[in-house]
Amino acid sequence: MHGSPELPLSFTLNGDAVSVEADPAARLLDLLRYDLGMTGTKEGCGEGECGACTVWIDGLPADSCLVPAFQVDGREVRTIESVDPARLGPLLSSGATQCGACTPGVVMTGLWILENPGLLRSHAIRELMAGNLCRCTGYDGIIEGIEAALGTRS
């Protein structure tokens, strides 16, 4: 299909070691969805604007549509599939999700805040969530959901 030699890469995906051969032109998003069958990560815009494709790379949120797959060689990737549904209750309370297109990305950025609450010493939740666009909820529900989850953290 592509005519380019495949590139070997090994990385950690949700805690498991993965070794694959990837098309050099594949984005991390393509690798996850089409090669690895992990379709939880969504494509919205494909150009870094919407955040629907947000995953963590080495502990930081990144748009997987803007990362060539070969760049995760040797790195740790975390996707929505790693998230225990039990944790979603508080995060998605208060109308944080409607159509759901943005939700996997919203959860990954929200979870990053939950797991790094020290960020809130310098940043407001709204600033940290600015890279996750949502056409449905008007954002207040998302912010309240994250606040609620922060409050119920064990």
Partner 1 sequence: MKVERPRALAAALGLLGDAAAPLVPLAGGTDLLVHWPVRPDARTRGYLDLQRLDELRGIRWSEDALELGALATYWDVITDSRVGAEFPILVEAARQVGAIQIQSRGTWAGNVANGSPAADGVPVLMAFGAVIVLESRQGRREVPLDAYYSGYREGARREAELIVAIRIPRRAHALQRFVKVGPRRAQAIAKVGLAVARSEEGWRVVAASVAPTVRRCRAVERRLEERGLPGSPEELDDALRADVAPIDDLRSTADYRARVLARVLFDATRKGGA
Number of residues that bind ligand FAD (CB under 6 A): 2
Number of residues that bind ligand FES (CB under 6 A): 22
Residue closer to partner 1 by CB (options 58, 152) is 58
Tell me the window of 30-38, 44-52, 80-88, 121-129 that interacts with ligand FES (CB under 6 A). Answer: 44-52
SS3 per residue for 44-107? CCCCCCCCCCEEEECCEEEEHHHCEHHHHCCCEEECHHHCCHHHHHHHCCCCCCCCCCCHHHHH
**Rounded CA separation 9/147 (Å):** 38
* Residue 24 within binding range of partner 1, rule CB under 8 A: yes
Site for partner 1 in 33-92 (CB under 8 A): 46-49, 51, 54, 57, 60-63, 65-68, 70-71, 73-74
**Rounded CA separation 32/38 (Å):** 5
Q: In this structure, are residues 32 and 41 in contact, taking their beta carbons and an 8 Å threshold?
A: yes
Binding site for ligand FAD (CB under 6 A): 48-49
Binding site for partner 1 (CB under 8 A): 2, 4, 7, 24-25, 27, 46-49, 51, 54, 57, 60-63, 65-68, 70-71, 73-74, 109, 112, 127-132
